[in-house]
Amino acid sequence: PPQPLQVSEPRIAGYFAESFRRIIDIAHAGGRQGRALHLNLLEHMLLLREELVPRDDTTRLDRRVLAARDFLLAHYQEKTTVEQVARAAGAAPSTLTALFKSQMGENIMRWRDQLRMGRARELLQGTELPIKVIAAEVGYDDPMFFSRRFKQLTGWSPSQLRGGSNR
């Protein structure tokens, strides 16, 4: 049976509430573009929920790792440091770094970057927003750096992905 979603970060809870409102509004508006936006937003929420809920009950994450994960999910668009994440999680940076890597399988900043690229991929495939707007939306001031980083982490340039090379 599905587990109830428990979120310690108010911004994430607010994001879910606002997203549900937007899905309802978009669904009522109808139209082909509305349906695509509706499905894109719903997919993003499901992916975010997947990140928030452990795959099985034996996978209990340390409360500091949970707090760090929630902080990153709420602030992935912002410039953050390991020290800021650790402060938000109530842990020393070195302790959190080791715990996060062992329990999440990635270091903190790479996990955040993967989160950013997942959202960028959704926007590239589900909208017509310019790449520079998507770069800013996911936390990159420089669209060229975003494009290089996107290719580094996904194997595709944003233009290739949008052009249908990986659909």
Q: Does residue 75 form part of some domain?
A: yes
Q: Does residue 167 form part of some domain?
A: no
Count: domains in the chain: 3
Q: Which pLDDT does position 50 carry in this prediction?
A: 65
Whether residues 121 and 76 share a domain: the answer is: no
Q: Does residue 136 form part of some domain?
A: yes
Rounded to whole angstroms, the Cα distance separating 69 from 92 reads: 15
Whether residues 2 and 53 share a domain: the answer is: yes
Whether residues 53 and 9 share a domain: the answer is: yes
Whether residues 88 and 141 share a domain: the answer is: no
Return the closest-CA partner of residue 68 out of 44, 45, 99: 99
Q: Which pLDDT does position 58 carry in this prediction?
A: 36
Which pair of structure tokens corresponds to residue 120?
Answer: 């960028």
**Burial (CB count within 10 angstroms: exposed 0-12, middle 13-18, buried 19+), residue 15:** middle
Whether residues 92 and 72 share a domain: the answer is: yes
Domain with residue 117: its CATH number is 1.10.10.60
Q: Contact 139/116 with Cβ under 8 angstroms?
A: yes
Whether residues 120 and 158 share a domain: the answer is: yes
Whether residues 52 and 16 share a domain: the answer is: yes
**Burial (CB count within 10 angstroms: exposed 0-12, middle 13-18, buried 19+), residue 61:** middle
- Nearest 5°: CA angle at 108, between 11 and 118? 65
Return the closest-CA partner of residue 134 out of 80, 81, 77: 77
From 58, 80, 95, give the residue that closes a domain: 58
Residues of the chain falling short of pLDDT 70: 1-9, 35, 38, 49-59, 164-167
Residue 82 lies in domain: 61-105
